[in-house]
Structure 1
Amino acid sequence: MNTNSSIFFHLKKRVKILSVALLLSCISSISLGAESEAFAEGVTRFKSGDYSSAIKQFEKARNQGNDSAALHYNLGVSYYKTGTYSKAESHFKKAGNDPEFKGLAYYNLGLVTFKKGDKQSAVRWFQRSQDAAQDNTNLSALAARQINKLTRQESKIKKHTDNLSGFITIGSGRDDNVNRGNDDVTTVSNQADRYLDFYATANYRFSGNRKTGNTIKASIGATRYNNLDRFDETLTNVGLYHHRPLSDWKTRYGIHYYHNELNGRGFQKTVRFQMRADKNYARIHRLRLQYEYHNIKDIDPLYAFTAGSRQRLRIENSSKLSFTRARIGYILELNNRDDFEQGDTFTSHSPTRHTLYASLTSSFNKNWSGRLDLEQRHSKYNDDNIAAGINLGTRKYDRTRITARLMYAVSKSLEIEARYRRSDRDSNVQSRKYISNITQLSLNYYF
C-alpha cells in the first residue's frame, strides 16, 4: 500500500467539521526512509490506541537518526491525539517542509490551530492545504469543506452585527516637512511639527444582504498640528451605495458627498458618482474596474480656482497566497478646473495624472502583520502658466511615495499600528518640490 492510499483509505466516510479521525491516521509505509523497529513499533502502538507509547517509540526512532517527514507527521498525529497541541504543531510544520506531505501537514495544522481556539489561523492553514493539494482532489475538497463550515460558523456568530461595520483610529505623529496634503492646493512649510490624527468611518446596510443590498457610509476625520495650525484639516462625508451581482461580476455604484475644511475655513464640497465592478478569476486573483466622476465646488472664494470636475479610472489586480495579499493597479485622473486667471497672469489647476501603485500585506503570525505600499505618480497640467504676460511653460511633477506599516492585534477588534511614510516630489516649479518623512503611532478599533 503506498503512502497516499494508507492516508485516504477512509475518506469516503461522512465528514464532520474538524473530525480528528479523518486525516489523523498514522502512516505505516516505510518507503520514505522510516525503516526501523522503533518506527514500526510506534505504528503498532498507535493503531492499538496507546498514543503515549507510540510517541516514545517514534521519539526513539528519531534519536536513532530517523528525521523523515513521515516520522514527524506520525509524531504530530500522536501528540494531537494526546492533546499536546504545541508539539503536534511543531512536528506538522516540519513534515510540511517535504512537498509530498505539505498538503496533509497543512490540513492537520488547521485542525491543531482550531483546537487551540484560533479559527482565523485554522482557515488560513486549510487554505494553504487547498493550495498545496491542487493535484489531490480529495484533500482539496476536504480543505474547502472545512473552510466553508468554519466561515459559516463565524457568520452565524456575527449575524446580529452583520449590517454595521467600521473602524475608529486615533494617532499621533511627526512630519519633518509639513505640507498641505490636499492635491488641489500644495503648500510646503519646510518645518517639522507634531500632530494628532483622528478618523472614524461606519457602513450600515439598511436593506438587502451581502450580495444585493443598499448601504449608507459616513466618515469624519481631523488632523491638528501642534504649532503649524494653518495646516489643520477636517473632513466629513456621507454616501449611499447599491451593490448587486451582474453575471460573474460584483458591482457597486453610488453617490457620495464630501465637505472639506482647511485651517477651520471652508475649502471644498464635492459630489462623487462611483461605479465599481469586481470579478474573481483563477481562484486566487481578483480584477477590479472602477470609475469616478467628481463635481467640485469651492466653499471659500479664495479657492475658486479649484472648482470644476475630476474623473478617475482605476484598474487593479489583487492576489491572495496563503498569508499574503498583493495588489497592483493603475489610476488615470483627468481634471477640468476653473483655474486661476487675473489680468495677464494665468495658473493651470487642471492636471492629468498617471499613478502606478503596488501593495503587499502579510500576516506573520496570530498577532503581527505588516503592509508595504509603493506609489509613483506623474502629473502634467493642461495649460502653460503665464506670469505678467511671460509664458512659464507647463507645470508638472513626479511624486514617489513609500509607506510601511507594522500592526499588532491586541484582540480581534483592537490593533496597534506603527507607520512610516516617505514622500518625494520633484517638480519643474521650485516651490512645489518637497521631501517629507512621517512617523505615526495609532490605535485602531474595528467593529
Structure 2
Amino acid sequence: MRSLLLLLFVLWQPWPVAAAPENALQQLVSEGTAQFREGRLGQARKLFEQASERGLQSPSLHYNLGVVCYQLGDYDAASQWFARLLNGRDQALASYNLGLVALADERPDDAARWFRSILEAADEAPEKVLGLAERQLADLGEGPERASVQGGLSPQGYLSLGGGYDSNLSSTPEASASNDGGVYAELIAAGSLNYSLGRERWLTLDLVGFARRYAEDEDYDQQLLQLKLGGMQSWRRWIFGIRPVVSQSWLSGEQLETRWGGEWLARSQECLPGSDWGCDLRVSVEQIDGGKGYEAYDGQWYQGQLGLRRRFGVLELGARYRLELNDRQDLSEPEGFVSVSPTRHEWMLDARYRLKPGLVVGAEATLRHSRYGKPHVWIDPDSGEQVERRREDDLKSVGVMAELSLGQRWLVRQQWVFQHQDSRLRVYDYRRHGLVLSLEGVF
C-alpha cells in the first residue's frame, strides 16, 4: 500500500484588502486581487508592487504579495513580504507562512524552527494556526508538539478516492496470476489521534481502512481494517514508539487473515549529528489466523525495515531495505505440499522531483527475492511421479508517478507500475502492469 502520509503546502487565501485614502491605490489593489483570483499571478504581483511603491503599506497587502511570490516560486521575495508581519498581531500566521516557504525552498530545518516558534508562543497564536504548525512538525518527524504544549488532542485525517486498471489479477500473494485484467475502484481512509502525556511523551491512535472493488470479477475484491494504539517518546532529534497492531482483511467478502501483534519504530530527520539523511527503522511481529479455507496462513510474521531519505534542492531521494520472515502452517495434502512461508529480501529506490510549485514527478524501482521454507511437492501429470522443488521468486518492479496540488488540502496523483516475477516454479511467473488515478486529501 502506498504510503498513507502526505505533505501538502497550505496557504491561506488572501485577506480582504484594506481601504486606502487614494482611489488610485485602492484600484490597483482591487485589480491585483481580481488578477490573482483568475490565476494571472504575474500580473497580480505587478499591480500589488505598484501599490506598495506608491506608498500603500498594510498587513493585507504584504500578505497578498507573500502569497503571490510563493506561488510564483520566488521564495526569497515571499520571505521578505511575510517577515514584515512578524512584529504585528499576525506574528503566528507570518511564522507559519515563513515555515511553508522554507519547506518549498528545501530548507526543512529552517521550516521546523518557524513552526516550533508558533508552539512556543501558543497562548498568543490562533487555534487553527497552532493545529497547522503541529501537523507540519509531525510530517517533519518531530512529533505532536502542540499536544505536548497544551495537553490536548491532535487529530489528523487522510482520504484517497481512486480508480485504475490491473492487467493480471491475483488473489493472495502466494497464488499464481490469472492472466485476466480488470478495472477497479478503491477507497483509502486513515485517521490519527495524538494525546499528550507530557512534554516528550504522547499516545497515538491510528486507524486505516482500505477497499478495492473490481468491476467485472468480485472474486478479487479486497478489504482491510487496521488499528494501531501505542506510546511515543521524543529524545533530541529522534522519535521512538511501541504500538500494538490489530488488523483484519477480506477477499471476495470472505475473511482472509486476522493479525495481531506489535511494532517498534524509530525515526529522525537527522540520522547522525550534522547528517542530511533522514532515517526510519521498524521491527514488527504479528500472529496470523487465517479464515475459513485459508488455515494454511496460520502462523507468525516478522519484519524489519530500514529507510533513508535526503533532499538535494528540488530533488528528493529515498532508499529502503526490508526483511520479512514467515512461519506459517503451510498447505499439506495427500497429493502434495505447498509452502506459504517465504523469507523475503526487498530493496527499493525512489526519487521525487519538483518541476514547479504544486507539481511533483517521481519514479521508483524495487527488487524482491523470496525463498520459501520447504520444497513444494506435487505429482507430475505426465509421468505420474512425485516432484519436489523449492520455490524461489525474483520480483522486479518499476513505476512512475505525477502529483498535482489542488490548493490547500487536495492533490491528484497518477501512477503507473510494471512488475515481472521470475520463479523457479513456472506456474508463479507473471508480468503485470497497473495504472491508477486518485484524488487525495489531508484534514
In structure 2, distance between residues paired with 1:125 and 1:341: 56
Say whether 1:324 aligns with 2:303: no
Q: How far apart are 1:284 and its partner, in Å?
A: 1.9
Structure possessing the higher radius of gyration over alpha carbons: 1
**2:233 equivalent in structure 1:** 244
Confirm whether residue 437 of structure 1 aligns to residue 406 of structure 2: no
Matched position secondary structure for 1:412? coil
Code of the residue aligned with 1:159 in structure 2: it is L
Does the CA contact (< 8 Å) of 1:123 and 1:150 recur in 2? Answer: no
Between stretches 205-214 and 427-436, larger displacement belongs to 205-214
Give yes or no for contact 1:111–1:122 (8 Å, CA) kept in 2: no
What residue is the counterpart of 2:147 in the other structure? Answer: none
Question: Tell me, what secondary structure is at the counterpart of 1:383?
Answer: coil
Partners of 2:405 and 2:297 in 1: CA distance:
41
Question: Which residue number in structure 1 is paired with residue 113 of structure 2?
Answer: 148
Counterpart Cα distance in 2 of 1:430 and 1:328 = 30
| Partner residue, 2:398 | 402
Match of 1:122 in 2: 101
CA distance in 2 between partners of 1:225 and 1:257 (Å):
26
Specify the alignment match of 1:286 in structure 2: 278
Distance 1:119 1:197 in 2: 37
**Matching residue of 2:291:** 299
Task: State the SS of the aligned residue for 1:364.
Answer: strand
Are residues 225 and 114 of structure 1, via their aligned partners in 2, closer, same or farther at CA, if it must alter by over 3 Å? farther
Q: Quick one: distance in 2 between partners of 1:89 and 1:169? A: 30
Choose which of 330, 334, 338 in structure 1 pairs with 2:325: 334
Q: Which amino acid aligns with 2:281?
A: L
Equivalent residue runs for 1:17-416 within 5 Å:
82=53, 107-108=76-77, 110-111=79-80, 119=98, 122-124=101-103, 127=106, 144=110, 148-149=113-114, 152-153=117-118, 156=125, 157-160=128-131, 163-180=154-171, 182-183=172-173, 185-208=174-197, 211-246=200-235, 249-279=238-268, 280=270, 281=272, 282-300=274-292, 302-388=293-379, 390-416=386-412
Q: Distance in 2 between matches of 1:236 and 1:365?
A: 36
**1:304 counterpart letter in structure 2:** E
Change (3 A) 1:372 1:244: same
* Alpha-carbon distance, 1:373 to partner: 2.2
The aligned counterpart of 1:7 is none
- SS of 1:284's partner is coil
Q: Percent identity?
A: 16
Distance 2:416 2:118 in 1: 37
Q: Please report how far the alpha carbon of residue 179 of structure 1 lies from its aligned counterpart in structure 2 after TM superposition.
A: 2.2
Aligned-residue offset at 1:409: 0.9
1:432 partner amino acid: Y
CA distance in 1, matches of 2:115, 2:316: 21
Counterpart Cα distance in 2 of 1:324 and 1:152: 27
Structure 1 counterpart SS, 2:373: strand
Between the aligned partners of 1:278 and 1:395, the Cα distance in structure 2 is 35
**Partners of 1:149 and 1:327 in 2: how far apart?**
25
Deviates more, 1:400-409 or 1:381-390: 381-390
Distance 1:317 1:364 in 2: 23
Could you give the per-residue CA deviations for residues 384-422 of structure 1, whole angstroms, max 9, x where no partner exists? 111147233100111111222211111121111111111
Cα pair distance change 1:109/1:177, threshold 3 Å:
same
Matched-pair contact (CA < 8 Å) for 1:240–1:255: yes
State whether residues 205 and 229 of structure 2, in contact with CA within 8 Å, keep that contact through their aligned partners in structure 1.
yes
For structure 1, which runs of at least 5 residues remain unmatched after alignment? 1-77, 94-104, 131-142
After TM superposition, the score normalised by the length of structure 2 is 0.69
Deviation at 1:374, TM superposition (A): 1.6
Equivalent residues of 2:69, 2:75 under 8 A apart: no
Q: CA deviation at 1:176?
A: 1.8
1:310 to 1:273, Cα distance in 2 relative to 1, 3 A:
same
Q: CA RMSD in A?
A: 3.3
1:423 equivalent to 2:402? Answer: no
Distance 1:150 1:354, change over 3 A: closer
What code does the residue aligned with 1:395 have? Answer: R
Question: 1:232–1:187: structure 2 CA closer, same or farther, 3 Å change rule?
Answer: farther
How far off is 1:214 after superposition? 0.4
- 2: distance between equivalents of 1:251 and 1:391? 49
Residues 328, 358 of structure 1: 8 Å contact kept? yes
Contact 2:309 2:317 in 1 (8 A): yes
Q: Return the offset for 1:339.
A: 0.6
- Residue 252 of structure 1, CA deviation: 1.2
1:33-66 Cα shifts (integer Å, max 9, x gaps): xxxxxxxxxxxxxxxxxxxxxxxxxxxxxxxxxx
Residue 108 of structure 1, CA deviation: 4.9
Equivalent residue letter for 1:148 = R
For 2:80, the aligned partner's letter is L
SS at match of 2:391: strand
Matched-pair contact (CA < 8 Å) for 1:337–1:349: yes
